[in-house]
Amino acid sequence: YEIRQDIEDAIIRLDPRKDENGQVFYRSLYKSRMACPVEEFTIRYVGPADIGQIKPHDVRAIITIDLALLKDAPQREWSELRQHDVVFLLTLDPPQQTFNPLTGTTNVWHYDREKPFLEQFPVKYVRGAEVIDVRDDRDNVFTGVGDSGVKLVGTKRFIKVHLDTAQYHSDIMNDVQCYSGFHLLMRRKPKENNFKAVLHSIRDLMNTQCVVPEWMHDVFLGYGDPDSA
């Protein structure tokens, strides 16, 4: 639910439209610090499946964004995306803005909070990705792991990511054409974006056999006589 709210907030702030040629543009590009238009999206590597699996072992991609229109603080935040941070790729189908040649004006349309969001700003696809590193156009690399002194220059950023391999396999098998190009890259606040790490920790705990001796279980759980240990 929180992820959906963040997606809706970012899209409303950017106020996307389609021009008469079907190209997506944004009326308020500078108003969202958590979402940035994708200039280019490229799948760079699809690894073979592990033995006994049908999904690829790894899928990597490069996302290109330009931070030129953002203020200094959002530029710095985008440049400091860390390894293992989770980001979201969005494909939109916004309303079309048309030009009336008789009046010389374009149609005026505003978001109405009383109406359902998806009726006004349809979202075609949402795909998650995990950051590997962030590079600038001089190939300086920032991962956030032991390289705090690295300063990225310019406004172009090339973000290398892992894609969800199960989702990628499902999309390819069902001929979902979402990887031909995404419109937006969205990030979340670090304190709110730790759900993947939490889920991995829970999974690891559930799959790990208890190493506490059986005779100590009751004491460890707070039962029995501590002196018996």
3-state secondary structure the chain: CHHHHHHHHHHHHHCEEECCCCCEEECCHHHCCCEEECCEEEEEEECCECCCCCCECCEEEEEEEECCCCCHHHHHHHHCCCCCCEEEEEEECCCECCEECCCCEECCCCCCCCCCHHHHCCEEEEEEEEEEEEECCCCCEECCCCCCCCCCCCCEEEEEEEECHHHHHHHHHCCCCCCCCCCEEECCCHHHCCHHHHHHHHHHHHHCCCCCCHHHHHHHCCCCCHHHC
Summarised one tens digit per residue, pLDDT across range 172-228 is 999 998 998 899 999 988 766 665 555 555 455 556 666 667 777 777 677 766 666
Average pLDDT over residues 91-101: 78
| The pLDDT of residue 192 | 65
Residue 96, pLDDT > 60, answer yes
Q: With CA atoms as reference, report the closest residue to 62 among 197, 154, 182.
A: 182
Higher-scoring residue by pLDDT: 67, 19: 67
Query: Per the confidence metrics, is the pTM higher than 0.75?
Result: yes
Summarised one tens digit per residue, pLDDT across range 20-74 is 788 888 888 777 889 999 999 999 999 999 888 899 999 999 999 999 888 889 9
pLDDT band at 110 (very low <50, low <70, confident <90, very high): confident
| The pLDDT of residue 8 | 92
State CA 187 to chain mean position distance. 5
Cα of first residue to Cα of last residue in the chain, in angstroms, is: 46
> What is the β-pairing status of strands 40-46 and 59-66?
antiparallel
| The pLDDT of residue 179 | 93
| The pLDDT of residue 133 | 92
Residue 97, pLDDT > 60, answer yes
